[in-house]
Amino acid sequence: MNNNQYVIVLTGAAGTGKTSVQDYLQQKYGIPRVITHTTRPPRPGEKNGVEYYFETDASFAKLHLLEKVEYAGHQYGSSWEAIHRALQQNNIVSIVLDTKGAITYKKELGKHAIVLFMQVDNQNELRQRMLKRGDKPAAVEHRITSKEDIRDLVLPKQLVGKAEIINNENWQQTEIQLDNIIKKLTDN
């Protein structure tokens, strides 16, 4: 990666606001998303090449992946191809990863990975946000009781001091924090 290129890594538990931040960064700053690959089936309304590249086990195995994880029984991975595709549009790009992926990005990309750990203290608030978003109650319960999501509620020790924590209780505060982060990156 070139010296002035950065990947903003958004991580944290389900419903903490990772996608909302990604949308904000895209709309306000033209920061494109790195689309990742998964073998999980598309959910209603999801399109190949928009939310994910949907893969079979065979096509997933052929990708040049920077990292891959198993999450809730499916494979997920981010490819160098997708990162380069996004970096061709802009020097700052964003990606949503679980915390295991965020640790790998920090290790592999060093100062080029800006890790933002999203959190919301009250788990019931998270549940309500997901229900309000339209998720089915059973899907919400399944997700928030998964071992991966429980793990992702807490900043992993490998990222302590290496990630910026965003307490996304209040969206206006989150926007201010994000604006400051982007200002620092673009002032460099």
Ligand X SMILES: Nc1nc2c(ncn2[C@@H]2O[C@H](COP(=O)(O)O)[C@@H](O)[C@H]2O)c(=O)[nH]1
Ligand Y SMILES: Nc1ncnc2c1ncn2[C@@H]1O[C@H](COP(=O)(O)OP(=O)(O)OP(=O)(O)O)[C@@H](O)[C@H]1O
Query: Footprint of ligand X on this chain (CB under 6 A)?
Result: 36, 40, 67, 69, 71, 76-78, 96-98, 100-101
Amino acid at 73: G
CB atoms within 10 A of CB 184: 10
The yes or no reply on residue 137 touching ligand Y (CB under 6 A) is no
The yes or no reply on residue 17 touching ligand Y (CB under 6 A) is yes
Partner in contact with 71, chosen from ligand X, ligand Y, none, beta carbon below 5 to 8 Å by kind? ligand X
DSSP assigned state of 33: B
Backbone φ/ψ region at 117: left (φ over 0), alpha (ψ -120 to 50), beta: beta
CB of 143 to ligand Y, least distance (A): 7
Pattern of binders to ligand Y over 50-89, x per CB under 6 A? ----------------------------------------
Closer of 3 and 138 to ligand X (Cβ): 138
CB of 135 to ligand X, least distance (A): 10
Q: Order of strands, edge to edge, in the sheet holding 163-167?
A: 92-96, 6-12, 113-119, 163-167
Residue with tokens 């992926």, as numbered in its chain: 101
CB of 179 to ligand Y, least distance (A): 15
- Residue 55 vs residues 52, 67, 118: alpha-carbon distances, Å: 9, 15, 28
Question: Cα separation of 94 and 23, whole Å?
Answer: 10
Q: Which stretch binds ligand Y (CB under 6 A): 25-33, 49-57, 69-77, 164-172?
A: 164-172
